[in-house]
Amino acid sequence: MRKLKDFITNFFKQYRHIWILSYFAIYLVWFNYLEKMVTTHFHVIHVPIDDYIPFCEYFVIPYITWFGYVAWGITYTALHNKNDFYRLCGFLFTGMTIFLIVSTLYPNGQYLRPYYFSHHNLCTTLCEWLYSTDTPTNLFPSIHVYNSLGIHFAVMKSEELKDKKTVRILSFILCTSIIMATMFIKQHSVFDVSTAFILAFVMYNLVYVRNWSKLPQSSAGHLKDKKRLPQV
């Protein structure tokens, strides 16, 4: 028992940065509130191309693996590179908060799901379970799409994974499959996917492209440096 206590104590000392994962408690409370409140009176999300995308129950498999994919990405960065972890969480949590605000201010939903299945198999059973637990509301930007892109960006930017070609390829395949799944099992409209891509593009540039270490110094610091310059 003492060894277990010491292990837990040392773990949280070494990885105390994981405290920011407490954000998920806030997210889940807010999201569950929206799921209960937004049920019938909402803005319908639909674009014409949605009608040309067929329902394919087999995509429920990558859709469900999203949970493991996101959990793996967060855990890997938390244990291997604190800076990568902070960047990933900054990316994910900002987008998730924007999603919650949008869903609160602009209640939305869709009527894309099939009313019945003409055949039955394991995947249709999984779809039925998914439909019964997840309401067709609070859709955009799609968090399934946005977070999948976030995890793949983290994989591609990871120093620890830069030489692990197999992991990077598998991440790309899974990310792409999840994005396609959101539309093929009628969980999301193309509009939801598109807005997730737009938000991900903006956040990628803010989190990964812009070099914050090279931002202009404060005026006080600038004047201090200026005083060090030799007088002409």
pLDDT for the residue 103: 95
For the chain, what is the largest distance between any 2 Cα atoms, rounded to a whole number of angstroms? 85
Is 231 a residue whose pLDDT tops 80? no
pLDDT for the residue 16: 83
Q: Which amino acid makes up residue 144?
A: H
pLDDT for the residue 223: 44
pLDDT tens digits, 29-69? 999 999 998 877 899 999 999 999 999 999 999 999 999 99
Residue 10: pLDDT band with limits 50, 70, 90 = confident
Contact between residue 30 and residue 100 where contact means Cβ atoms under 8 Å apart = yes
The residues with which 134 forms a beta bridge, in sequence order, are none
pLDDT tens digits, 80-119? 999 999 999 999 999 999 999 999 999 999 999 999 999 9
pLDDT for the residue 212: 54
pLDDT for the residue 102: 96
Q: Please compute the mean of the pLDDT values over residues 127-139 and round it to a whole number.
A: 94
Is 183 a residue whose pLDDT tops 80? yes
C-alpha to C-alpha distance for 188 and 131, rounded to whole angstroms: 12
Is 229 a residue whose pLDDT tops 80? no
Comparison of pLDDT for 85 and 1, the residue scoring more: 85
pLDDT tens digits, 25-39? 999 999 999 999 887
Nearest to 177, CA basis, from 55, 59, 53:
59
pLDDT for the residue 227: 43
Q: Which amino acid makes up residue 101?
A: I
- The backbone torsions φ and ψ at residue 33, rounded to the nearest 5 degrees and listed phi first, read -60, -45
CA dihedral 46, 49, 55, 57 (to 10 degrees): -80
pLDDT for the residue 87: 95
pLDDT tens digits, 137-178? 999 999 999 999 999 999 999 999 999 999 999 999 999 999
Omega cis (within 30) before 141? yes
- The backbone torsions φ and ψ at residue 108, rounded to the nearest 5 degrees and listed phi first, read -145, 160
C-alpha to C-alpha distance for 156 and 150, rounded to whole angstroms: 10
Element (H, E) at 162: none
Is 78 a residue whose pLDDT tops 80? yes
Is 17 a residue whose pLDDT tops 80? yes
Cα–chain center distance at 211 = 22
